[in-house]
Amino acid sequence: MRKAMIGLLMAVVLGLIAAGVWHVWQQQQASRNWPSVPGEIQSAQIVESDDGSNNGEGSRRFTVELVYRYSVAGVALRGTRIRIVATGHRDAAAAQAELLRYPVGARVEVFYDPANPSSSVLQTGS
Protein backbone atom coordinates (compact mmCIF):
# COMPACT_ATOMS: atom_id res chain seq x y z
CA MET A 1 0.00 0.00 0.00
CA ARG A 2 2.82 2.39 0.88
CA LYS A 3 4.64 1.75 -2.42
CA ALA A 4 1.43 2.44 -4.31
CA MET A 5 1.02 5.81 -2.53
CA ILE A 6 4.63 6.77 -3.23
CA GLY A 7 4.19 5.77 -6.87
CA LEU A 8 1.00 7.81 -7.14
CA LEU A 9 2.65 10.83 -5.53
CA MET A 10 5.60 10.57 -7.92
CA ALA A 11 3.24 10.32 -10.89
CA VAL A 12 1.38 13.44 -9.75
CA VAL A 13 4.60 15.41 -9.25
CA LEU A 14 5.97 14.35 -12.63
CA GLY A 15 2.64 15.22 -14.22
CA LEU A 16 2.72 18.70 -12.71
CA ILE A 17 6.29 19.23 -13.92
CA ALA A 18 5.36 18.07 -17.41
CA ALA A 19 2.32 20.38 -17.46
CA GLY A 20 4.52 23.32 -16.44
CA VAL A 21 7.08 22.57 -19.14
CA TRP A 22 4.29 22.21 -21.72
CA HIS A 23 2.77 25.56 -20.67
CA VAL A 24 6.11 27.37 -20.99
CA TRP A 25 6.76 25.76 -24.39
CA GLN A 26 3.31 26.83 -25.59
CA GLN A 27 3.94 30.41 -24.42
CA GLN A 28 7.29 30.47 -26.21
CA GLN A 29 5.68 29.31 -29.44
CA ALA A 30 2.71 31.69 -29.12
CA SER A 31 5.01 34.67 -28.51
CA ARG A 32 6.36 34.29 -32.06
CA ASN A 33 3.00 35.65 -33.30
CA TRP A 34 2.49 38.40 -30.73
CA PRO A 35 2.02 41.93 -32.06
CA SER A 36 4.59 44.55 -31.15
CA VAL A 37 4.66 48.19 -30.13
CA PRO A 38 7.50 50.62 -29.47
CA GLY A 39 8.87 50.77 -25.96
CA GLU A 40 11.64 52.38 -23.97
CA ILE A 41 14.11 50.96 -21.45
CA GLN A 42 13.60 52.62 -18.06
CA SER A 43 16.21 50.80 -16.00
CA ALA A 44 18.73 48.04 -16.58
CA GLN A 45 21.24 46.29 -14.35
CA ILE A 46 23.06 43.05 -13.77
CA VAL A 47 22.19 41.16 -10.62
CA GLU A 48 24.64 38.58 -9.31
CA SER A 49 23.30 35.62 -7.37
CA ASP A 50 24.28 32.16 -6.22
CA ASP A 51 22.33 29.30 -7.78
CA GLY A 52 22.76 27.16 -4.68
CA SER A 53 24.81 24.44 -6.32
CA ASN A 54 27.80 25.06 -4.01
CA ASN A 55 30.21 24.84 -6.93
CA GLY A 56 32.20 27.88 -5.90
CA GLU A 57 32.71 30.07 -8.95
CA GLY A 58 30.42 27.81 -11.00
CA SER A 59 27.44 28.60 -8.79
CA ARG A 60 27.44 32.34 -9.57
CA ARG A 61 24.75 33.58 -11.96
CA PHE A 62 24.56 37.00 -13.60
CA THR A 63 21.07 38.06 -14.66
CA VAL A 64 20.09 41.14 -16.64
CA GLU A 65 17.13 42.76 -14.95
CA LEU A 66 15.35 45.61 -16.66
CA VAL A 67 12.16 47.61 -16.75
CA TYR A 68 10.68 48.95 -19.95
CA ARG A 69 7.55 50.91 -20.67
CA TYR A 70 5.16 50.56 -23.58
CA SER A 71 1.58 51.37 -24.43
CA VAL A 72 -1.21 49.21 -25.88
CA ALA A 73 -4.49 50.85 -26.95
CA GLY A 74 -3.63 53.95 -24.96
CA VAL A 75 -2.91 52.03 -21.75
CA ALA A 76 0.56 52.63 -20.30
CA LEU A 77 2.26 49.39 -19.25
CA ARG A 78 5.59 48.25 -17.82
CA GLY A 79 7.42 45.04 -18.56
CA THR A 80 10.42 43.27 -17.10
CA ARG A 81 10.90 40.15 -19.22
CA ILE A 82 13.47 39.91 -21.95
CA ARG A 83 12.19 36.45 -22.94
CA ILE A 84 9.52 34.01 -21.73
CA VAL A 85 12.01 31.94 -19.73
CA ALA A 86 14.31 34.02 -17.57
CA THR A 87 17.89 32.96 -18.02
CA GLY A 88 21.07 33.98 -16.32
CA HIS A 89 24.67 33.81 -17.39
CA ARG A 90 27.50 31.99 -15.65
CA ASP A 91 29.91 34.48 -17.17
CA ALA A 92 29.80 38.15 -16.13
CA ALA A 93 31.06 39.21 -19.57
CA ALA A 94 28.12 37.48 -21.28
CA ALA A 95 25.69 39.30 -18.98
CA GLN A 96 27.47 42.58 -19.70
CA ALA A 97 27.16 41.95 -23.44
CA GLU A 98 23.40 41.38 -23.04
CA LEU A 99 23.06 44.49 -20.87
CA LEU A 100 24.72 46.59 -23.60
CA ARG A 101 21.80 45.70 -25.90
CA TYR A 102 19.40 47.49 -23.52
CA PRO A 103 20.83 50.83 -22.35
CA VAL A 104 18.52 53.10 -20.36
CA GLY A 105 16.55 55.31 -22.73
CA ALA A 106 16.93 52.93 -25.68
CA ARG A 107 13.94 52.42 -27.94
CA VAL A 108 12.95 48.74 -28.17
CA GLU A 109 10.31 46.64 -29.85
CA VAL A 110 8.00 45.15 -27.23
CA PHE A 111 6.00 42.03 -28.08
CA TYR A 112 2.84 41.56 -26.03
CA ASP A 113 0.21 38.88 -25.57
CA PRO A 114 -2.94 40.21 -27.27
CA ALA A 115 -5.09 38.32 -24.75
CA ASN A 116 -3.16 39.90 -21.86
CA PRO A 117 -1.23 43.01 -22.99
CA SER A 118 0.52 43.30 -19.62
CA SER A 119 2.41 40.10 -20.54
CA SER A 120 5.33 41.12 -22.73
CA VAL A 121 8.84 40.22 -23.88
CA LEU A 122 11.61 41.81 -25.91
CA GLN A 123 12.63 38.54 -27.57
CA THR A 124 9.99 36.13 -28.85
CA GLY A 125 10.19 32.37 -29.10
CA SER A 126 12.67 31.95 -26.27
Q: Where are the domains of the chain?
A: 2-121
- The reported pTM is 0.75
Confidence band of 23 (pLDDT split at 50, 70, 90): low
What's the pLDDT score for residue 87?
78
pLDDT band at 26 (very low <50, low <70, confident <90, very high): low
Cα–Cα distance measured from residue 61 to residue 78, given in angstroms and rounded to the nearest whole number: 25
Q: What would the DSSP string read from start to end of the chain?
A: -HHHHHHHHHHHHHHHHHHHHHHHHHHHHHHTT--EEEEEEEEEEEEEEE-S---GGGGEEEEEEEEEEEEETTEEEEE--SSSS---BSSHHHHHHHHHTS-TT-EEEEEEETTEEEEEESSTT-
Residue 16, pLDDT above cutoff 60:
yes
User: How high is the pLDDT of residue 51?
Assistant: 66
- What pLDDT score was predicted for residue 74? 96
